[in-house]
Amino acid sequence: MPTYDQARQYGKTYVGALNTGPGAYRALFAPGADIRVDGEPATLERVLQTTPPGRSAFRRARLEPPHVVLTVRVRDRAAERVDDLPHRVTLDDDGRIASLEA
């Protein structure tokens, strides 16, 4: 389990990769990672639909063992709306995402 400071730094890396695009984002995940969106099994592409590259920002991190909860802020300028979405991640021993609940 990372420390709070490590979780904050990881959150910045996470959102940076998310905003860079599918390749950089995919590199954060362990092979066979369990990915869920709204409680349903999902793909990384589905996660990117809910937190689009270029519209997502890191808001905060908190520790809820065994998860690190990263709050991703998504801006929709056309709708004049901002949503803060929790992304619950667990990391493997190599620091890759083993599971994600978005």
Model pLDDT for residues 33-86, shown as the tens digit of each residue: 999 999 999 999 999 999 999 899 999 999 999 999 999 999 987 778 999 999
Q: Is the pTM of this model over 0.75?
A: yes
How would DSSP label each residue in 29-69? Answer: EEEEEEEEETTEE--HHHHHHHS-TTSEEEEEEEEETTEEE
Instruction: Please name each of the domains of the chain with its CATH number.
Output: 4-101 (3.10.450.50)
pLDDT at 79: 74
pLDDT at 80: 84
Distance from chain centroid for Cα 95: 14
